[in-house]
Amino acid sequence: MDTPFADRVNRCQGRLADYGADVAVIAPGPNLTYLAGLTESPSERHFLYVIPRTGAATILAPAMYRAELEEAPIDRVRLWDDGDEPVAMLQTVLEDVEQTLSNPDPLNILLDDRMWTTFSQDVRAVRPDAEYGLASSVLGPLRLRKDAFERDTLRTAGSLADRVSMTLRDRSDEVVDLTERELAEEINRLLEREGGAGPAFDTIVAAGPNGARPHHRPDETVIEAGDPVVLDFGAYVDGGLESGAAPYPGDQTRTIVFDGEPPAGYEEIHETVRRAQRAAVDHVEPEVTAESVDAVARDVIEDAGYGDEFVHRTGHGVGLEVHEPPYIVEGNDQILEPGMVFSVEPGIYLEGEYGVRLEDLVLVTEDGSERLNSSPMRWEA
């Protein structure tokens, strides 16, 4: 199977040229995963991916990664042993970049936004006369619009969350009398059973009054008949590439009463949130702004008299990170473009009583939007 990484590096180089920058220096984190399919965590060792605006990209890494890097989609690899001086090797790599560019001016270097300060200082030490900026200047616009591999992987993650959601409804008679923590652990098991590569974030199970806290952590609260239960979960899935990793998360929220009669007024509030969520998704199309999607959801809830109980933004971008641009919030005039993926998750939270949140991931298409989740939103199990 072809991989998207060479195309991403090429597009990064094109944007470097357009931006007037000479080279990007990328550290372990989501940008490295995006460009090379490597999911290495930051450490005290120099692990840097140097991408010039023209010519071969070079990775500088500890020799212990020799086997992994032989399989990685990278043009040039420079390995260093523990007895070597990696900063001197970094200087050599940047000298090679200068020769390739034939640039008489000092380099314009973009540093990874997530780079540890110690490595940033090392780059500055070997090129003190360079101009510096942030790699997000060129990578941010690229990562905003998901390519075909990313879109397909996010669809897979959405379907996985849907299957788990349906399984929970089918097991509704087993949920009452569990603790929130027990149900969260069961959800995590189901996510793994369905093919997930670990939870994308801490699974939220919030019963009754706990549901009024948007990011409640599951505890020993027992789920009782009639309790509205906020369920917010998703799993990472891998894109199945032969070379390089492509871990993308699912993220779905449903609020369900598994047994018994819900509290007075609950059905009305659940329907209000459902209408707000549907209206916001229906509004999504190219050329509208992120803040206008937020406004559509917020207007429905405010018109119903619960504006003060909608206490967070309507959504957040989803990609290699669970929270990334574009943020669906007032004040963000980002124009939506095909390929962008984000959550739409309005909510109403009644302190001391319960909360309701409903969330799907949404892909902006050429002429509208595509929901990446399809499981029911009804409040009854």
Q: Tell the CATH superfamily of the 5-142 domain.
A: Creatinase/prolidase N-terminal domain (3.40.350.10)
Helix (H, G, I), strand (E, B) or coil at 381: coil
Residues of the chain with CATH 3.40.350.10: 5-142
| Alpha carbon distance 361, 283 (integer Å) | 14
Return the minimum-mean-pLDDT range out of 66-75, 136-145, 235-244: 235-244
| Alpha carbon distance 248, 269 (integer Å) | 32
pLDDT in tens, 227-276: 999 999 999 998 777 666 778 999 999 999 999 999 999 999 999 999 99
pLDDT in tens, 15-63: 999 999 999 999 999 999 999 999 999 999 999 999 999 999 999 999 9
> Which residues on neighbouring strands pair with residue 375, listed in sequence order?
none
Residue 356 has pLDDT above 50, yes or no: yes
pLDDT in tens, 160-194: 999 999 999 999 989 999 999 999 999 999 999 99
Looking at 3.90.230.10, 3.20.20.70, 3.40.50.2300, 3.20.20.60, the CATH number of the domain 145-371 comes to 3.90.230.10
